[in-house]
Chains A and B, each alone.
Chain A
């Protein structure tokens, strides 16, 4: 069974600092995709960044980047130059293959950016 693990229920970071949110996954499938979503207190789910299992480069999207370590089965999200608006819940998700395009979500990490 495919599984996503986010071991940090809560994280604090000071404004303008970088922060890394951990995500590990377990799959026996060689082809998979990893997604990160942000859920602010207002409740909506916002797509941030994607990493494919065959991608040679780590994904980047503005201040977001993925530290993808395939051998370790980890896909950590790095947010650079944190802003107060980055305070939110962050979810890592994996696309299941062989079962269509379903996503399995981790339990999330609550990030709080402080002055």
Chain B
């Protein structure tokens, strides 16, 4: 079975440019999560969706960040304009909630996108 697919795996761009990260969740999973990982702050949840609807975006750092989930099989995280402090590994994860929020189903992570803003 295909896991969570993220693209690109690596992105290097200059500050001020728009960056778009993409995620395809596992088929049938109805929750999707975006995380950011840095040495200083560890793993932080940015936003998550249930059934394509954003539920909690309290972790989104500022207005420069936006996320969409137009359908059950695709999500994007956009940074515009990008800044050097946005450099991090961005993970997408998905989860099957059909057994309920409190089931033992884990979140399954993609391989991440390593983003470097020069």
User: Which residues of A does B touch, CB under 8 Å?
Assistant: 31, 33, 35, 37, 43-47, 50, 52, 91, 95, 97, 99-103, 105-108
Contact = CB atoms under 8 A, between A and B. Distances in A.
B89 interface: yes
B47 to A, nearest CB: 10
Interface of B: 31, 33, 42-43, 45, 48, 50, 55-56, 89, 91, 93, 95, 97, 101-102, 104, 106-112, 114
Contact of A100 (B48, B108, B109, B111): B48
B31 to A, nearest CB: 6
Contacts, number: 57
A32 to B, nearest CB: 9
Contact of A50 (B42, B93, B104): B104
B100 to A, nearest CB: 9
Contacts of B97: 101
A43 B108 contact: no
A82 to B, nearest CB: 23
Contacts of A108: 42
Nearest to B9: A43
A9 B48 CA distance: 28
B111 A44 contact: yes
A92 B31 CA distance: 20
A99 B50 CA distance: 12
Given A105-B42, A105-B43, A100 B107 contact: no
Query: Quick one: which of A44, A45, A95, A103 has the most chain B CB within 10 A?
Result: A45
Given A43-B89, A107-B42, A108-B42, A101 B109 contact: no
A108 B43 CA distance: 10
A47 B102 contact: no
